[in-house]
Structure 1
Amino acid sequence: MGSIAIIGAGNVGQAIAGHMSLQGHDVRLFDRWGHDLEPIKANDGGIDLVGEVEGHGRPSLLTTDLTAAVDGAQAVVVAVPAFAHAYISQELAAVLEPSQLVLIQPGVLGSGVELARMFSLAGRKRCLIAETPTSLYTCRLRQPANVYVGAIKHSVPLAAVPSADTHQALAILRTYFGERYVSGGDALAVGLSNANPIYHVPPAVLNFKTVEDADCHPQHSLVTPRIAEVIDALDRERLGLAHALGVEATSFWDFLTSAYGVTEGTFVERIVQGYGRQAFPEPDSVNHRYFTEDIPFGLVIWSSLAAQIGLSMPLTDSFIALSNTLCGRDFVADGRTAESLGLHGSHVGSIRAAFIDGSVC
């Protein structure tokens, strides 16, 4: 058995903490403010899991002390919203040791680079850093300390920063998650394989009245044949950016195959096959993560890196502009950009070096 720290006590954090506890590991669950830990303490110190995983998992430690959470842990899984990555990375860079592994799960393009840069700015030797484009667990909190696990994905790609460390990261994680994490090559390919904005943003923006009315329709039910074509077109812009940067990213449709075993049908039919059984609802406000994460930490960083190399992404930029107005936010100012990663003015070679070789400044 191993020792694993989970940073973040939301949907994914509680799913991992509960599951790993049921597997018999030493599990520490950290929440910055402690609010999400109180229901767990009241639930006999444990998390109830239903769905693909069943049981009552009890972490060995529930804490708001980051140092206590990670001290001696072999693996540290970051499962916080993308807007909290910069803060958590800065804090982790001050306390982690080179022998430890950090898995940002899920990451967004640049999460591993950001953490490596924080170590550099702190003047400390970095630990082993890895990230995935999506969470291994498809899950939702049904009520406090009660998580519905809709699915544990068949396989999720993973890459380390630098990419030469990927196999070492996979070997460590095998103790906890078996063979479900697989090599994704490098962090540039993995980061650009994050398909969440592809599926989340177009239906939400193009059905915005139902967001304002908080109708909470199942997200997959809002994907019409024409909206599915928009999803595909947005996906092709993302794949074009990957190609321009010299990597091959997984298409949204291939993601449905690898994650959920979907292999055929129209675009709409494939989406229903992949997401229909979970039937997770659409956003119920402009503060939903499909806006506050997938746009500033998905579409924005794609657009920003594309601008560095002179690549046009008109549909991506249009969704950013529309969402700024619809949500009354400046997602570019709030989001991850080439400048925030220390890559402003970079060319293809220096962008690749930061993601693949871990060369950060």
Structure 2
Amino acid sequence: MAEFERRQAQPVGGDHHAGGALTFEGKVGVAGDLGAAVAAADVILLTMPGNGHRAAMDAVAPHIRPDQPVIVSSHSSFGALYLSRALALRGVSVPISVWGTTLLTARVQGPTSVRVNTVRQKIDVATLPAGAIEEGHALCTALFGDRFVRRDGLLAIALSNLNPQNHLGIALLNLTRMEKGETWGQGEHVTPAVGRVIEALDAERLAIADRFGLKVRTVREHFSLSFHVPMASVSEMNQQMHAEGRGGFGPAAFDSRYIFEDVPFGLVPTALLGRMSGHPALLHEAGIALLSAAAGRDLASENDILPSLELERQGMDALMALCRTGYAHPA
């Protein structure tokens, strides 16, 4: 199997096209050297699958200047802490804005084209350090419009990325469709049973957030605000999206980010927070185990960020403090 993890397609410059909910025609430049690209940038925007974040952060950290804010779209697995530590070792501190999800949902159509399914109305944002939230919110708004909702720190964002839990329910209960390469409507196949699983996963996440004293968006709020449908059950909202032609298509291969990104970099951190909070996320843990069995490998072990941070050894109070301040330059 050609594994999804860390695949790096060669960037293609020149004319690019986007269609669907957002249209674009124009030239896109490609830098031949990372240092030169960063040197010319006003803002560093990291937008790639979570299983590429550590490698990208390792590569870019030596080049970031104190006047270059960073945006992570979307944040996963406490990557902002990892980057904060790398920068602190250089004596550099920049505001890092982290999003709870992506600005768009889209599918690549070819090397230079993409179809945009949705432009999200609301995106949760926080900053590291937490005191930079006004600066970070203003920057994100200036770049991408008035759609950002301030959240109370990095930990709230860590518990606000709903894609992994939603993709677990969708992928696990439609796994043979993926493996057989079928073309299937994702919204259509969020049936009442699948919707109930997603809602049960959401209840685990909300309970963990409550143990940390945090207020985060529910999965029903997420679907309503992201996909412009009235609030209802998860299945009913997905069925409406499908009826309107906006339900999208599910993965047409087992080799999918729903498994090889979302399990190690989405479900594993939530399961960790569940154990730390004394409220184990049993369905998340079961999903990790089941999809690992289906993949024939230990997906949890493929997270290359969490082990280096050793968050579980710090305890809840230390983690909450670190998620507000980030790492300081060592004396």
TM-score (norm 1): 0.83
- What is aligned with 1:157? 124
Partner of 2:79: 111
Q: Does 1:292 align with 2:260?
A: yes
Q: Matched residues in 1 for 2:304 and 2:274: separation?
A: 13
User: Please, which of 168, 171, 174 is the counterpart of residue 201 of structure 1?
Assistant: 168
Q: Write the deviation string for residues 114-169 of structure 1: whole angstroms up to 9, x where unpaired.
A: 2112223x333122211101111111112221111222111211111111111101
Letter of the aligned partner of 1:115 in structure 2?
A: L
Q: 2 CA distance for matches of 1:68 and 1:280?
A: 38
SS in 1 for 2:126: strand
In 1: Cα distance, 2:155 partner to 2:298 partner: 25
> Whole-Å Cα distance in 2 between the matches of residues 53 and 211 of structure 1?
27
Superposition pairs of residues 338-357 of structure 1, within 5 angstroms: 338-357=306-325
The 5 A counterparts of 1:160-199 are: 160-199=127-166
User: Matches of 1:212 and 1:58 in 2, distance apart?
Assistant: 36
The answer for the alignment partner of 1:97 in structure 2 is: 65
Of 38, 52, 59, the residue aligned with 1:84 is 52
Shift of 1:69: 1.5
Q: Which residue of 2 aligns with 1:8?
A: none
Structure-to-structure mapping, 1:196-235, within 5 angstroms: 196-235=163-202
Counterpart of 1:319 (choices 287, 292, 295) is 287
Q: Answer yes or no: is the 8 Å Cα contact 2:187–2:238 preserved in 1.
A: yes
Supply the AA of the counterpart residue of 1:36: P
Distance change in 2, residues 1:292/1:72 (3 Å): same
Paired residue for 1:62?
30
1:350 positional shift: 0.9
Q: Find the partner of 2:301 among 333, 340, 353.
A: 333
SS at match of 1:56: strand
Select between 280-289 and 225-234 the one with higher mean Cα deviation.
280-289
- Counterpart of 1:221 in 2: which secondary structure? coil
Q: TM-score, normalised by structure 2?
A: 0.90
Q: CA–CA distance in 1 between the matches of 2:142 and 2:112?
A: 25
RMSD of equivalent CA atoms: 2.1
Distance in 2 of aligned mates of 1:64 and 1:238: 41
Instruction: After TM superposition, give the deviation of residue 337 of structure 1 in Å.
Output: 6.5
Give the superposition deviation at 1:270.
Answer: 1.0
Gaps of at least 5 residues in structure 2 are: 1-6
Partner residue, 1:36: 11
Question: SS of the residue aligned with 1:94?
Answer: helix
Give how far 1:207 is off: 2.2
Q: Alpha-carbon deviations, 1:183-241, whole Å to 9, x = none? A: 12211112211010122111211222212211131222222212211110011111111
Task: List runs of 5+ in structure 1 lacking aligned partners.
Answer: 1-31
- Assess if the C-alpha contact under 8 Å between 1:107 and 1:131 holds in 2: yes
**How many angstroms does 1:260 deviate by?**
2.5
**Larger RCO: 1 or 2 (CA < 8 Å, sep 6+):** 2
Identity of aligned residues (%): 27
Runs of 4+ in 1 over 6 A off after TM superposition: none
Alpha-carbon distance in 1 for matches of 2:254, 2:24: 34
Distance 2:99 2:167 in 1: 18
Aligned partner of 1:332: which letter? A
Structure 1 distance, partners of 2:108, 2:188, is 21
Structure 1 residue matching 2:229: 3-state secondary structure: coil
Deviations 1:225-264 (A, max 9, x none): 1221111001111111111122112111111222233233
Tell me how far apart the structure 1 counterparts of residues 96 and 247 of structure 2 sit (CA, whole Å).
33
Q: Deviation digits for residues 96-115 of structure 1, max 9, x if unmatched? A: 01111111111114121121
Counterpart residue number, 2:3? none
